[in-house]
Amino acid sequence: MPERIEIEAVHKLYPGGNQALTDVSLRIEPGELVVLLGPSGSGKTTLLRCLAGIERITSGSIRIGERVVAAGRAHHPPEQRNLAMVFQDYALWPHLVARDNVAFALRRSGMGRAERVTAAAAMLARVGLSSLGDRYPNQLSGGEQQRVALARALVGETGLLLCDEPLSNLDADLRERLRIEISSLVRAAGATTVYITHDQAEAFALADRVGVLERGRLVQIGPPEEIYAAPATAFVARFTGLSGTLRGRLLGAAHAAGERVRVTLPTSSTGHLADIDATAMMPLRSGAAVSVMLRPTAVRMV
């Protein structure tokens, strides 16, 4: 059964004073696929590790399904959280063949050895590796190893799947193909999924909702179209595919975020460029000096 996730006001301070997460709150519906997007160092892995129970939170709380798994000093270890993880570096057992790597995830399932191996072989077939079950990890390509890791994560049918940049080590072509496979396998499995990446194209292709992390804060969460059309901050706009910025002056005032405004661009040696209609991101007084951020798909010449 897919789990509901509730992250409430989570702070994470590493020993030495590094504040990696600040006041992160996030509710994820059962079966939803949420992608957390942010640059390197923004706290993505830390948040995932806190969810997994590998890292302790400093304050706040985390609920998985009906259980509070972290709050104050209470802390459930990973094996009590009904979840599976996929990592950037695959993390397969080098001394086990692919099928046994997958079967290993079922060691606490109560199944007998033969049943575990059968289930593992079936899962390997679903990720397109039915003929490679007898290979050791070092006899598999990066993409094949990541498919084994995915099979291992899915075979236990846990309620929550956590993916930490699973495609970052693969080349662009394979990354795009596997992205589509992961999306359909994960949706077919029905698990609630938290997937982190620094790649905006990957985030937009996969997510039901995208959350953007900036220096440990969740600055926006919403459907991909909303993040793209109405970024909450200049940082979100820049990080999700901005094509350029123009400086100008506001004609008339904006009383609230979201209002349409007209901006006049300064006259240069080549003459007056244009007036631009844009959306205000905050209240602005008439005549204010502003930056207009451009999305390639949003520009229309009139």
In angstroms, the CA 207 to CA 63 distance is: 21
CB of 165 to ligand ADP, least distance (A): 8
Is the Cβ of residue 42 or residue 145 nearer to ligand ADP in the bound state?
42
Residues in the chain, total: 302
Residue 18 touches ligand ADP, criterion: CB under 6 A: yes
* Nearest-angstrom CA–CA distance, 177 and 267: 47
How would you classify the pairing of strands 5-14 and 59-64? Answer: antiparallel
* Residue 138 contacts ligand ADP per CB under 6 A: no
197 binds ligand ADP (CB under 6 A): no
Cα–Cα nearest to 285, from 245, 247, 256: 256
| Of the candidate residues 9, 14, 180, 245, the single one contacting ligand ADP (CB under 6 A) | 14
Beta carbon nearer to ligand ADP, 59 or 118:
59
Select from 217, 233, 194, 207 the least CA-distant residue to 25: 217
Would you state the structure tokens that stand for residue 99, as one six-digit string?
A: 């099928």
Interior angle at CA 168, CA 142 and CA 139, nearest 5: 10
Residues 209-238 that bind ligand ADP (CB under 6 A): none
Determine, following the binding rule CB under 5 A, whether residue 45 of this chain makes contact with Mg ion.
yes
Q: Which is nearer to Mg ion, 119 or 207 (CB)?
A: 207
Which tokens belong to 138? 């070092």
* Cβ closest to Mg ion, residue 199 vs residue 259: 199
Mark 29-48 with x for binding to ligand ADP (rule: CB under 6 A) and - for no binding. ---------x-xxxxxxx--
From the list Mg ion, ligand ADP, none, partner contacted by residue 43 (C-beta under 5 to 8 A by kind): ligand ADP
CA distance 194 to 11: 18
Query: How many amino acids of this chain bind ligand ADP (CB under 6 A)?
Result: 12
Which residues 15-44 are close enough to bind Mg ion by CB under 5 A? 44
SS3 138: helix
**Which spans of this chain sit near ligand ADP (rule: CB under 6 A)?**
14, 16, 18, 20, 38, 40-46
**Which spans of this chain sit near Mg ion (rule: CB under 5 A)?**
44-45
